[in-house]
Amino acid sequence: MRNKIVAGNWKMNTTPVEGVALVSEVLDAVKDMELNHKKVVFGVPAVSITSVASIIGDIANVHVASQNISSYDSGAYTGEISATMLEASGATMAIIGHSERREYFGESNQVLATKVDKALGRRITPIYCCGEVLEERKNNTFQTVIKTQVEEGLFHLSMEEMAKVVIAYEPVWAIGTGETASPEQAQEVHAFIRSLVSAKYGNEVADNLSILYGGSMKPSNASELISMVDIDGGLVGGASLNASDFVEIIKAM
Interface with ligand 13P (CB under 6 A)? 9, 98, 170, 175-176, 214-217, 235-239
What's the min distance (Å) between Cβ of 9 and ligand 13P?
4
In whole angstroms, the minimum distance from the beta carbon of 128 to ligand 13P comes to 12
Closest approach of Cβ 90 to ligand 13P, in Å? 20
Name the closest residue to ligand 13P (Cβ): 237
Q: How far is CA 117 from the centre of its chain?
A: 16
Compare residues 214 and 233 and give the one whose CB is closer to ligand 13P. Answer: 214
> Looking at beta carbons only, is 128 or 201 nearer to ligand 13P?
128
Question: What are the contacts of 130-137 at 24+ separation with CB within 8 A?
Answer: 130/97, 130/167, 130/168, 130/169, 130/170, 130/193, 131/99, 131/169, 131/170, 131/171, 131/172, 131/175, 131/214, 131/215, 132/171, 132/172, 132/173, 133/99, 133/172, 133/173, 134/172, 134/173, 137/171, 137/173
Residues marked active site are found at 98, 170
Which residues, at least 6 apart from 78, have a Cβ–Cβ distance to it below 8 Å?
none
Q: How many angstroms separate the CA atoms of 9 and 40, rounded? A: 11
Give the nearer residue to ligand 13P in terms of CB position, either 57 or 178: 178
Question: Taking the complex as a whole, how short is the minimal distance between the CB of residue 34 and ligand 13P, in angstroms?
Answer: 25
**Eight-state DSSP code of residue 46:** G
Task: Please identify, using beta-carbon distances, which residue of 209 and 217 lies nearer to ligand 13P.
Answer: 217
Amino acid at 61: N
Supply the minimum distance, in Å, between the C-beta of residue 250 and ligand 13P.
Answer: 14
User: 7 or 120, CB closer to ligand 13P?
Assistant: 7
Q: Which residues contact 59 (CB under 8 A, 6 or more apart)?
A: 27
